[in-house]
């Protein structure tokens, strides 16, 4: 969707084609047999909006939610078409944009809504028995920070124990041969967090130590985390970097939802995302982000940021604030002269209703939104050109890979530039926007510890 609003063209996504091909294959294999087709996973919520697709694709049931503790019951009841209402609700929970809840009945969509037990307890979550992709292990579920566009926050917090973490690493090492450990959560800094989302430094260092001390593990990184912790807790980042053996040849990647450069939008949609720092007290949203990237670069962490364009209530001014933030970060350096390290990917915020109405066309990106895309791709091209010496393999392969990445980054930036120019974006304005009024950033970390 994010590319569709940029390039226009056919609204049929590749993933959708792949999905339909897979379902067709499964349906061919079960033709004339009694086998039922049940789908699950977070994507099931798309069927809430595109209900007719379930019938069109011949899917018998879709299950929405977590099912670790009741999966055998689910399979058995689906196979026999005998759904026990004490365990499964025929329908699902819907939330409006103010997060108020309503229930919708549906014979084909099952959930745990109104059943008395909505989620498995920690002790009911089994650890993996076969290796996960990329050596990934789960370390917690839920989040609780409360960003208003996010469903994860509604789930209860459950933290994997050291025993569970070790058991999953063991499977990935023994059966998957994967020595790198990805620690999956929606916000690693929330692991056993303290009041007001202060990071639990002991729990975090113990967890990373446990992972890195496991014989056979060569490296590790978390999947997701907020920027406010690197911003306000540099000593913690330093400690974790030492445990993870971070350095110029071992950057610790982490994905962070930055969403916007606009102070007012940040306060409106995600006021707690900077906790325990407070926007406007410990620094502006942009200052908190800036200090976070500073500390990450210093300790060899590299954030992969995502931005949203098209958020509810977003104005052109908000979007230009985002352009300014990307430009300032892109042109900043830490004390020893190294440039800020991060990637930034703009994503289109797609309200579910728009998906139903299938109103997609290339005009969806207005001038200011395109400016955010262009500023982001300019930075990505810059990052790609720095990656010339990275990659795996011998020096020749590395140089080849680096050149391709660098050229690819440049090419994509030029394509976006071309589209933006044709649609009336003032390219030189985007390039310099926010740089003339470079702000003097105060030290957020000093404030956090005051």
Q: Note the residues at the interface with ligand SF4 (CB under 6 A).
A: 143, 145-147, 150, 152-153, 186-187, 226, 257, 270, 273
Min dist CB 147 to ligand SF4, Å, is 3
Shortest Cβ 24–ligand SF4 spacing (Å): 34
414's enclosing H/E stretch is helix 395-422
Say how far apart CA 12 and CA 27 lie, in whole Å.
21
Q: Decide whether 153 or 376 has the Cβ nearer to ligand SF4.
A: 153
Q: What secondary structure letter does DSSP report for 71?
A: H
**Cβ nearer to ligand SF4, comparing 152 with 403:** 152
Interatomic CA distance for residues 255 and 304, integer angstroms:
5
Spell out the alpha helix ranges (H) of 30-114.
Answer: 45-49, 52-56, 71-79
Burial (Cβ within 10 Å: 0-12, 13-18, ≥19) of residue 235: exposed
Pick 257 or 434: Cβ nearer ligand SF4? 257
Q: How far is the CB of 238 from ligand SF4 (least distance, A)?
A: 23
- Rounded to the nearest whole angstrom, what is the least distance from the CB of residue 257 to ligand SF4 in the complex? 5
**DSSP E strands: which ranges in 286-341?**
301-309
For 214: left if phi > 0, alpha if psi spans -120 to 50, otherwise beta; the answer is beta
Q: How far is the CB of 195 from ligand SF4 (least distance, A)?
A: 17
CB of 194 to ligand SF4, least distance (A): 16
CA distance 191 to 224: 11
Strands 101-111 and 89-95: antiparallel
Q: Which is nearer to ligand SF4, 143 or 244 (CB)?
A: 143
């Amino acid at each position: 969707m994010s590319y569709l609003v940029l390039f226009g063209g056919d609204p049929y996504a590749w993933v959708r084609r792949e999905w339909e091909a897979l379902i067709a294959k499964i349906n061919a294999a079960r033709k004339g047999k009694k086998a039922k087709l049940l789908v699950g996973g977070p994507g099931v919520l798309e069927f809430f909006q595109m209900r007719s697709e379930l019938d069109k694709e011949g899917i018998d049931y879709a299950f929405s939610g977590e099912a670790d503790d009741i999966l055998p019951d689910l399979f058995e009841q689906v196979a026999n078409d005998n759904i026990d209402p004490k365990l499964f609700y025929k329908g699902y929970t819907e939330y409006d944009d103010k997060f108020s809840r309503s229930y919708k009945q549906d014979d084909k969509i099952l959930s745990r809504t109104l059943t008395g037990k909505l989620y498995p307890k920690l002790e009911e979550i089994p650890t993996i028995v076969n290796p996960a992709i990329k050596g990934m292990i789960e370390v917690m579920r839920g989040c609780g920070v409360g960003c208003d566009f996010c469903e994860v926050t509604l789930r209860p917090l459950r933290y994997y124990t050291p025993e569970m973490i070790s058991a999953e690493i063991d499977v990935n090492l023994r059966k998957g041969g994967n020595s790198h450990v990805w620690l999956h959560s929606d916000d690693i800094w929330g692991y056993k967090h303290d009041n007001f989302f202060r990071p639990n430094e002991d729990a975090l260092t113990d967890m990373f130590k446990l992972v890195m001390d496991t014989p056979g593990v060569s490296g590790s990184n978390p999947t997701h985390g907020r920027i406010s912790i690197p911003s306000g807790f540099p000593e913690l980042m330093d400690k974790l970097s030492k445990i993870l053996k971070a350095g110029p040849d071992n950057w610790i990647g982490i994905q962070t939802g930055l969403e916007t450069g606009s102070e007012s939008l940040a306060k409106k949609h995600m006021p707690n995302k900077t906790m325990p720092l407070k926007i406007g007290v410990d620094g502006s949203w942009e200052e908190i982000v800036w200090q976070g990237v500073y500390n990450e670069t210093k300790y060899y962490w590299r954030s992969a940021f995502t931005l949203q364009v098209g958020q509810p209530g977003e104005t052109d001014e908000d979007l230009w604030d985002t352009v300014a933030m990307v430009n300032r970060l892109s042109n900043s350096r830490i004390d020893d002269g190294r440039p800020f390290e991060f990637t930034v990917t703009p994503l289109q915020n797609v309200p579910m209703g728009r998906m139903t109405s299938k109103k997609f066309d290339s005009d969806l990106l207005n001038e200011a939104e395109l400016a955010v895309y262009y500023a982001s791709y300019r930075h990505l091209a810059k990052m790609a050109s720095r990656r010339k010496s990275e990659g795996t393999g011998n020096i020749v392969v590395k140089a080849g890979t680096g050149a391709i990445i660098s050229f690819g980054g440049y090419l994509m930036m030029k394509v976006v530039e071309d589209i933006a120019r044709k649609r009336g974006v003032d390219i030189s304005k985007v390039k310099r926007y926010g740089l003339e009024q470079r702000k003097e950033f105060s030290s957020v970390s000093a404030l956090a510890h005051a």
